[in-house]
Amino acid sequence: MELTMVSIEKPDEVNCILGQSHFIKTVEDLHEAIVQTVPQMKFGIAFCESSGPALVRSTGNDAQLTALARKNALALSCGHSFIIFMSEGFPINILNTIKSVPEVCAIFCATANPLQVIVADSGEGRGILGVIDGIKSKGAETESDVAARKQLLRKFGYKL
């Protein structure tokens, strides 16, 4: 088995969700789930089929985000994985909806941070072992850091 690290390529301001599912209709079901939850969100989805023609299936309502999802899914090439890129919204707006899609098995991460994916290649197939989401901790927050965090949450409208 060979281990590799795949860096997800994306603009800094774009959020993504990386997960695993189990069925070819995942790409359509995720698309429907997003537009029913946050209709104004711009997104692109790609899904790595794990049998038959083993294609990367993609959809979205934004051509650039869909192309970005397809490019990164091809770089991963891990069976039954999916990646969603989004703008004009945050993962928190759709995460529970995505998790409730019947064929979704796991969510590895939801982030706007730099993202690296640890991939195992058995020679027959590839799978995601885990992710490195962002950078390592630099210390513990101070009182001024707490105030800044709370202010940021209010700016985004998540706290009153």
Mean pLDDT in residue range 132-141: 94
Specify the pTM.
Answer: 0.92
Are 85 and 70 spatial neighbours (Cβ–Cβ below 8 Å)?
no
pLDDT recorded at residue 157? 83
pLDDT per position as a tens digit, 40-91: 999 999 999 998 899 999 999 999 999 999 999 999 999 999 999 999 999 9
pLDDT tier for residue 23 given thresholds of 50, 70 and 90: confident
Tell me the average pLDDT across 137-154: 92
Statement: residue 160 has pLDDT above 90: no
Residue 156 has pLDDT above 90, yes or no: no
Nearest Cα to Cα of residue 84 among 17, 151, 20: 17
DSSP class of 79 = T
Q: What is the pLDDT of residue 57?
A: 97
Burial grade of 48 (CB within 10 A; 0-12, 13-18, 19 or more): buried
* Residue position matching structure tokens 């796991």: 106
The CATH classification of domain 2-156, taken from the options 3.40.1280.10, 3.30.420.40, 3.40.1520.10, 3.40.50.720:
3.40.1520.10
Domain parsing of the chain, residue ranges = 2-156
